[in-house]
A and B are shown apart, each in its own frame.
Chain A
């Protein structure tokens, strides 16, 4: 039973489309995160939710909108996709701010 699962694993779409990525965790953690990994493997924080409340919002275009319907789910909706959005998006969860985070296997987004 996967602790942090993301869907879809792969997403190939045209520029200008709107798409959503979903994340679910069964670890009972309070905090969930979205990270973006670029083609050079550099991972950078995008958003964080704690108990459904947005607590971290990095300088990300407002085309990206996270939503947390409950503590176990965090979704990422992206409007008007651009070529530069091509990357791997990772969901992560953590139980306390001083505890390490656990990652899903990522969603590979390719924009044509």
Chain B
């Protein structure tokens, strides 16, 4: 069983839709949670970073962490064609040797104009 599960999609939505992306994890030692966006032929770009359970908002993006359920989400409001990319959830345990990121498979999102 993978430590981090993410539905690979693909997910296709019309412009303006609310997008919900999710990951579940099995290792309760994970403390830090991230969402990265990856455009084709580019490196992952950090979108959101959270430590504790709860919500964090940044513009059109909201990240949710529920440690009790081992579940994290990313919501994108008023989605735009420029949001079309692969979205990767990532998490780490922290500490020098625990700083490695464990990624989900990535969800490929297409926002249609």
Measured CB to CB, the residues of A under 8 A from B are 4, 31, 33, 35, 40-45, 48, 50, 55-56, 58, 90, 92, 94, 96-98, 100-106, 108
Residues of B within 8 A of A50 (CB): 96
Assess the B100–A102 pair: CB atoms within 8 A. no
Q: B45: CB under 8 A from chain A?
A: yes
Q: B59: CB under 8 A from chain A?
A: no
Contact string against A for B residues 70-107, beta-carbon threshold 8 Å, 1 for contact and 0 otherwise:
00000000000000001010101011111111110110
Q: How distant is the Cα of A97 from the Cα of B29 in the complex, in angstroms? A: 14
Say whether, besides A42-B103, A42-B106, A97 and B43 are in contact (CB < 8 Å). no
Assess the A103–B43 pair: CB atoms within 8 A. yes
Assess the B88–A43 pair: CB atoms within 8 A. yes
The 9 tightest CB contacts between A and B, nearest first, are A103-B43, A97-B99, A45-B100, A43-B103, A105-B43, A100-B49, A41-B106, A103-B44, A98-B94
Contact of B43 among A44, A48, A100, A106 (CB under 8 A): A106
Residues of A within 8 A of B44 (CB): 43, 90, 103
Assess the A56–B97 pair: CB atoms within 8 A. yes
CB A21 to nearest CB in B, in angstroms, measures: 13
Q: How distant is the Cα of A91 from the Cα of B73 in the complex, in angstroms? A: 26
Q: B17: CB under 8 A from chain A?
A: no
